[in-house]
């Protein structure tokens, strides 16, 4: 029998700690949903972690960087205050924190946004002559950046993220800002505050998330490349669901400066494109150290992996219960293609796979609650009443997991399990060069089909957790279609800093197959 971990009164208390206002219906809904998630998370208690050190950060050979204090041109006072809703004599105007304030639970009225494309993939058309699309987590100077949330609707940044600057320096022009699950929270593309992104292969189906818009504009050939982020599958899932190629890099390979944070120890900026060859070319533009991001400074960058064994691993845990039979069949056909290319296939075990979602959905919401605390409507954006349902769920889950008396039971436990994931992969990579795996256990599903049960959506990320929790790279590429003509993707996972090897394997596969060349029917656009 499931325990009632959270009562309605406790949810009310957590909401107050998180500075969120909830109505009575919301209190009831979140009590049930968060209790369901925490009951699932209890499986972590099965894992023996005594004497296992926690992993809070996956960086290697990285130290903090320091810059000399130099006076440089920066924002003017006018610029710094420009996005604030209220100012007074050159200062931000905030509420009196010592006064008890009334909380509002009224339904907010939103200005209707113009729908730019039939898939709802594009939030802003910046320049019709442009050639790159940016997920709306990437800060773009002078261009609205919302993170897919009403909280930041109308926010105009005063600077570019490092990745956006890299593309500008290489001669690229921003064409679109792209739809996404708000703040990166989602595997389906349905959690955008501006409506779900639709799959171009079947508009009734989800496009995958959170980088949904990025995958759709690449799949429909509106651009050759789009930026994206992967915290746990957010590049790989939309890549698989839209028949495009995506790279979730080694954590620290690409600068996070100017990318709106979800979970800081997991967020990996990356890219989507139409082929592995193009993806490799574009990735070389952004794979670099950045003085504005200490996590990009590893001395291991570009390290020599040594002579390859010619062996690819298949994780036995990924192909047991829970995977759709058609997905499994298509994936095994891809494995056969590598066999025919003279690769040896070897079974490997990642024994902690079944604990991945539980660990991730403690670590990520805890970090998300901290990162989203800054959105108070004072310096920029709207107040916290504008957060959507999924953001509120994750803020409250993270607030609870990191609160007094629960940190050891939840956050620290998950961090120790994370260490075991890293050890599982290190052991496997001593035997094989790379690991081949499905991206999703099921094909694209109907929009709205799983929206009433957040836990079912969270479980979609099960195959994404090993690479995400360990900070290792994964390349997602097309590998077939279902009988209903829906795309299926696979991922090639490797040790830290193995992107070149993954691109090489992906290119070899694409020389033997043409799945990546198939495009959705755009005749009625």
User: What is the domain partition of the chain in residue ranges?
Assistant: 8-57+82-517
Q: How far is CA 283 from the centre of its chain?
A: 17
What CATH class does 8-57+82-517 carry? alpha beta
* C-alpha dihedral sign at 438, 444, 449, 452: positive
Residue 432, helix vs strand vs coil: coil
Q: State the average pLDDT over residues 306-313.
A: 93
Query: Could you tell me whether strands 311-315 and 344-348 are parallel, antiparallel, or unpaired per DSSP bridges?
Result: parallel
- If one compares 72 and 8, the residue with the highest pLDDT of the two is 8
Phi–psi pair at 468, nearest 5 degrees = -70, -45
Please tell me the least confidently modeled range out of 36-50, 107-121, 241-255, 388-402. 107-121
First to last CA, the chain: 52
| pLDDT tens digits, one per residue of 248-269 | 999 999 999 999 999 999 999 9
Q: Is the pLDDT of residue 177 over 90?
A: yes
Residue 1 confidence (pLDDT): 46
Rounded CA-CA distance 359/414 in Å is 5
Just list the catalytic residues. 135, 210, 234
Question: Worst-scoring range by mean pLDDT, 48-52, 108-112, 456-460, 512-516?
Answer: 108-112
Radius of gyration of the chain (CA): 22
- 474: pLDDT strictly greater than 60: yes
The torsion angle over the Cα atoms of residues 328, 332, 333 and 338, rounded to 10 degrees, is: 150
pLDDT value at 525 more than 70: no
Q: Picking from 119-133, 214-228, 302-316, 488-502, which range would have the lowest pLDDT averaged per residue?
A: 302-316
**Whole-number pLDDT of residue 104:** 60
Residue found by looking up tokens 């639709």 in the block: 198
- pLDDT, position 2: 58
- Both tokens of 132, joined, read 């790159």
Taking each helix axis from N to C terminus, what angle separates 8-17 and 389-401, rounded to the nearest 10 degrees? 90
The pLDDT of residue 186 is 96
pLDDT for residue 299: 87
pLDDT digits (tens, 9 = 90+) for 84-126: 989 988 999 988 877 766 656 566 777 788 899 999 999 999 9
What pLDDT score was predicted for residue 124? 97
Among the residues of 82-183, which ranges form H helices?
162-169
Confidence of residue 220 (pLDDT cuts 50, 70, 90): very high
């Amino acid at each position: 029998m499931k325990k009632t971990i959270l009562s309605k009164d406790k949810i009310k208390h957590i909401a107050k700690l998180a500075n969120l206002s909830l109505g009575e219906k919301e209190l009831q809904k979140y009590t049930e949903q968060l209790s369901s998630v925490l009951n699932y998370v209890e499986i972590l208690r099965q894992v023996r972690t005594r004497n296992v050190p926690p992993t809070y950060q996956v960086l290697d050979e990285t130290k903090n960087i320091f810059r000399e204090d130099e006076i440089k041109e920066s924002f003017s006072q006018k610029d710094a205050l420009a996005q604030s809703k209220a100012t007074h004599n050159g200062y931000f105007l905030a509420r009196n924190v010592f006064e008890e304030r009334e909380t509002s639970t009224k339904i907010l009225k939103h200005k209707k946004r113009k729908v730019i494309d039939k898939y709802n993939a594009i939030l802003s058309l910046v320049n019709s002559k442009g050639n790159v699309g940016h997920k709306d987590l990437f800060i773009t100077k002078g261009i609205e950046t919302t993170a897919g949330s009403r909280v930041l609707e109308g926010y105009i940044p005063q600077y570019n993220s490092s990745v956006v600057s890299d593309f500008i320096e290489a001669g690229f022009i921003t064409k679109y800002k792209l739809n996404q699950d708000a703040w990166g929270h989602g595997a389906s593309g349905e959690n955008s505050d501006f409506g779900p992104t639709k799959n171009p292969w079947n508009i009734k189906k989800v496009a995958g998330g959170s980088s949904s818009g990025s995958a759709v504009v690449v799949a429909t050939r509106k651009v050759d490349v789009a930026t994206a982020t992967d915290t746990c599958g957010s590049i790989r899932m939309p890549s698989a669901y839209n028949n495009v190629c995506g790279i979730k890099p080694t954590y620290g390979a690409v600068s996070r400066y100017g990318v709106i944070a979800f979970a800081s120890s997991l967020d990996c900026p990356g890219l989507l494109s139409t082929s592995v060859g193009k993806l490799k070319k574009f990735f070389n533009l952004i794979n670099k150290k950045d003085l504005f991001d200490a996590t990009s400074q590893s001395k291991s960058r570009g390290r020599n992996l040594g002579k390859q064994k010619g062996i690819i691993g298949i994780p036995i845990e990924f192909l047991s219960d829970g995977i759709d039979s058609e997905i499994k069949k298509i994936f095994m056909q891809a494995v056969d293609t590598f066999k025919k290319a003279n690769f040896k296939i070897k079974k490997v075990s990642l024994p902690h796979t079944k604990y991945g979602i539980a660990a991730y959905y403690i670590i990520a919401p805890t970090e998300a609650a901290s990162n989203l605390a800054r959105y108070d409507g004072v310096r920029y954006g709207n107040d916290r009443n504008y957060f959507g349902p999924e953001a509120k769920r994750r803020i409250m889950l993270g607030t609870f997991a990191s609160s007094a008396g629960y940190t050891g039971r939840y956050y620290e436990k998950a961090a120790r399990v994370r260490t075991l994931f890293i050890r599982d992969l290190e052991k496997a990579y001593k035997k094989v060069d790379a690991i081949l795996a499905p991206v999703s256990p099921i094909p694209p599903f109907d929009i709205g089909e799983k929206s009433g049960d957040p836990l079912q959506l969270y479980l979609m990320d099960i195959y994404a957790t090993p690479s995400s929790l360990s900070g290792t790279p994964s390349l997602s590429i097309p590998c077939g279609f279902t009988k209903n003509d829906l795309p299926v993707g696979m991922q090639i996972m490797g040790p830290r800093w193995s992107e070149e090897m993954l691109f090489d394997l992906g290119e070899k596969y694409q020389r033997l197959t043409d799945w990546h060349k198939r495009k959705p029917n755009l005749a009625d656009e």
